[in-house]
Amino acid sequence: MAIHKRREESGKVAARLLLESTEAVELPPAEIDEEGATVEREEFRKYLPELFDALEEGGWVDPAPMVQSDSIFVIEGETRSFWVRLWHTDESRTRITRLHVLSCLPLAPPFKIDFGDHPS
């Protein structure tokens, strides 16, 4: 994880860790600073509770496919797939101080295609 420093309103400099990886990462259950959540598009905001639930439970996150960035991850919620950047307070990854939602897509329901009988 990369360390990024930011200046607090009090004037102190605080460090936060940007999650970066080219592999899937297991995240422990985490507390989330909901005020630190930003969205790329305002219509994503109504889905933030679903993302917060997924992050509070913990689980595996995968690097976003076809993106030339090691800091964008896909998080699967109940009904949506979120592409996010996450900043943690420390290496334990149990507190998320900032997150940014880049994309929020509905999950496609699983389906089966029956092509009928095939000649063997």
Domain boundaries, the chain: 21-106
The whole-model pTM stands at: 0.79
Residues 40-94 pLDDT 10s: 999 999 999 999 999 999 999 999 988 888 999 999 999 999 999 999 988 889 9
Measured CA to CA, the distance from residue 43 to residue 67 in angstroms comes to 22
Long-range contacts, stretch 1-7, CB < 8 angstroms, 24+ apart: 1/88, 1/91, 2/71, 4/87
Give 71's DSSP letter.
Answer: T
Output the CA–CA distances (angstroms, integers) from residue 44 to 3, 59, 75, 83, 100, in the order listed: 27, 22, 14, 11, 11
Residue 29 token pair = 């259950």
Instruction: Identify which has the larger pLDDT, 4 or 117.
Output: 117
